[in-house]
Amino acid sequence: MTRPVRPPRPPLNRRLDGFGTTIFAEMSSLAAATGAVNLGQGFPDTDGPEEVREAAVRAIRDGRGNQYPPGPGIPELRSAVADHQRRFYGLSYDPDTEVLVTTGATEAIAAALLGLVEPGDEVVALEPYYDSYAACVAMAGGIRVPVTLRPRTGPDGDRFVLDLDELRSAVTDRTRLILLNTPHNPTGTVLTRAELTAIAELAVERDLLVVTDEVYEHLVYDGAEHLPIAALPGMRERTVTISSAGKTYSFTGWKVGWTTAPPELTAAVRTAKQYLTFVSGGPLQHAVAEALRLPDAFFADLRADLLAKRNLLVEGLERTGFGVFRPQGTYFVTADIRPLGESDGAAFCRALPERCGVVAVPNAVFYDHRDQGDPFVRFAFCKRTEVLQDAVKRLSAL
């Protein structure tokens, strides 16, 4: 008796087919192997404020948060998040029913999609997108529907813009939610009030939820204003707003994030979140509660520091001959390699460490329509000034 031979089944389930290791692992090992300056991955090379670090140490010493914190997050942090939304945007949320602390924005995105999306629901997202969006939509059994941000030349320079007609035609009867990201990684675009108003009108008209990733809310330049879509008419009740301490306070390793949303949406996100990590980062939650209450000068200094770094890198890239999309937000610059006579960003990035000792990331990895991203590469400028100066000097060898 022989059992029928079944074809070997690959271990990875079909939902995650195609989500192999990220480009960042490949590029970072290339950086290590060649001694190149790594402007690929987006984390700061200096840590955040001393007083916030001390607050974390104090919390550990004083035994605050060393055991499982409450599921929705410690009350001090939930109040601080609510106060932050009121202080900066005039939005009011109940810390008990409308604020949820998560393991970074990454878990908030996962829990929002797992908690809100039925298998077969369509999720409209702005392409290029942060790499976890596609994977989380897939894990939730949803169908991602990309709307491509298009490069446009305008009076204020080149910028990636949202085509509102494309967005409107992407919405169908199966659309459950629009997944936004502003300020936008990797393009540096900050959605304008007019764009957000149009998105809001569409969401209200088609009765859609909006999940909005605002982790770069404090990193805006040139007078650009970050406007949470939740502040627009009809939106508070249908919006899950996501942010995190990682980018604002330069503690990307802490993984303390949060959502603000009306009670029913918060409960849906919490239901998924409690079975992902349940809770995390107890003492760090105490420290972030203090960070959110830092004076306005902290936020102004952060912006001024990053603006100077942005200008240094943008000007260096322009001198080298790249086409540069001067970002109005985030700590990334997207550059066009076509003026350098190149067209394949992935090949360009693989060769760059060898050619001049710098690492960048090909934007194509953030696209479903990869050809749309082929000519673009992303550099991070959240690095020490001397590192950026070194990178610019190296790039000038191109």
Ligand X SMILES: *Cc1c(COP(=O)(O)O)cnc(C)c1O
State the DSSP string of 323-372.
Answer: EEE--SBSSEEEEE-GGGT---HHHHHHHHHHHHSEE-EEGGGG-SSHHH
The answer for residues whose C-beta is within 8 angstroms of residue 291's C-beta and 6 or more apart is: 48, 49, 52, 55, 245, 248, 249
Give the Cα separation of 84 and 288 in Å (integer). Answer: 12
Pairing relationship of beta strands 332-336 and 376-380 according to DSSP bridges: antiparallel
Q: How far is the CB of 292 from ligand X (least distance, A)?
A: 14
Residues that bind ligand X (CB under 6 A): 104-106, 130, 181, 185, 213, 215, 244, 246-247, 252, 255, 257
Q: Which of 191, 255, 265 is nearest to 228 (CA)?
A: 191
Smallest gap from Cβ 215 to ligand X, in A, equals 5
The residue among 320 and 363 lying less far from ligand X, judged by its C-beta, is 363
- Amino acid in the structure at residue 44: P
Residue closer to ligand X by CB (options 260, 320) is: 260
- Gap between the Cα atoms of 103 and 15, Å rounded: 23
Closer CB to ligand X, residue 148 or residue 185?
185
Output 101 or 388, the one with its CB closest to ligand X: 101
Closest to ligand X by CB, 215 vs 279, is 215
Place of tokens 């400028």: 381
Please, which residues bridge with residue 151 across strands? 160
As measured in angstroms, the least distance from the Cβ of 213 to ligand X is: 5
Min CB(34)–ligand X separation in Å: 25
- Closest residue to ligand X using C-beta atoms: 104
Identify which of residues 93 and 258 has a Cβ nearer to ligand X in the complex.
258
Phi-psi region of 384 (alpha: psi -120 to 50; beta: other; left: phi over 0): beta
Q: In this complex, which beta carbon is closest to ligand X, that of residue 106 or of residue 320? A: 106
Distance CA 75, CA 70 (A): 8
Residues 6+ apart with CB under 8 A from 123: 113, 117, 137, 142, 143, 144, 145, 175, 176, 177, 178, 179
Q: How far is the CB of 297 from ligand X (least distance, A)?
A: 24
Taking the least distance from each CB to ligand X, the nearer of 218 and 255 is: 255
| CB of residue 249 to ligand X, shortest distance in Å | 11
Rounded to an integer, what distance in angstroms lies between the CA atom of residue 40 and that of residue 107?
22
Distance, CA of 332 to CA of 11 (rounded, Å): 36
